[in-house]
Amino acid sequence: MILKKTRAISKHTIMLLFTFITIGPFYWMISTSLKQTDHLIKMPPDLLPIPINFHYYVDVFTMVPMAKAIVNSFMLTFAIVIGTLFFSSLAAFAFSKYKFKYSGLLFAIILSSLIIPQQASLIPMYVAFSKIHWIDTYWPLIVPATLLNGYAVFLIRQFMIGIPDDYMEAAKLDGSSAFKIYYSIMLPLCKPVLASLALFTFIFHWNNYLSQLIYINSENKFTVPLLIATFRDSYKLDWGRLMAGATVSILPSTLFYFLSQKFFLEGITFSGVKG
């Protein structure tokens, strides 16, 4: 009994330790954004922001167009999420429920795209998009993300494989077309994995600084990551405004997670993907 209690205490102690390690950077970010200017680089640092100061948040929304950047980020990210869910679920439906010539080869090619680093394709894709005058638009960010997402196809396919074919057979007997089976049967049954994929996609592309930096030049089209980067220049780092902007930037992802967490674990578990 004593050994069992010792193991339980040790287990919970380790879990608490990792919890503090995880939330520590977030706490320090929020704390720094609420400190007075003369306390930002104080040594030893203050653990609590006393007195609490909100003027960095005011500056973030008054000195730079943060509201416009948030709207731009939402428009871009939601377009990518919707496009990814639609095109990837269509491809996954075909690969999981239909057998056609070279289906295995095509799926292998899609999976092979996962091993290609994003940086390796930046230059050729930039050259290609510049020839069709897509630079300084959102299209270079939306089109590749929605049409070339091998991970999304794999994740949804793994979930659809676990759905019995009896549903499709019954629908076919009722005269349903393939597309009707897809949107009336498969999509409702795939809500958990679609919610998980939407969360992954939203978080990744909301924070996808590199691609946005490459393709977006106009300040009125800046997203939140690009705008936050302007708080840093060659001579100084504006810690207060930078931490306030970073705090604002994580709020949508956090909210999205809490709204979709009901389906999140179920979608990952039944897709056969483990962390």
Q: Are 226 and 209 in contact (CB under 8 A)?
A: yes
Query: Is the N-terminal amide bond of 51 cis, ω within 30° of 0?
Result: yes
Average pLDDT over residues 225-248: 81
State how far the alpha carbon of 6 is from the alpha carbons of 1, 2, 3, 14, 18, in Å.
9, 6, 5, 12, 18
Domain 57-270 coded CATH 1.10.3720.10: yes
What is the band of 264 on the pLDDT scale with cuts at 50, 70, 90?
low
Q: Where are the domains of the chain?
A: 1-53, 57-270
* Predicted structure pTM score: 0.83
pLDDT of residue 225: 92
Task: List, for residues 102-133, the tens digit of each pLDDT value.
Answer: 888 888 888 888 888 878 888 899 999 999 99
Task: List, for residues 124-157, the tens digit of each pLDDT value.
Answer: 999 999 999 999 999 999 999 998 788 999 989 9
**Residue 102: CB partners within 8 Å, gap ≥ 6?**
none
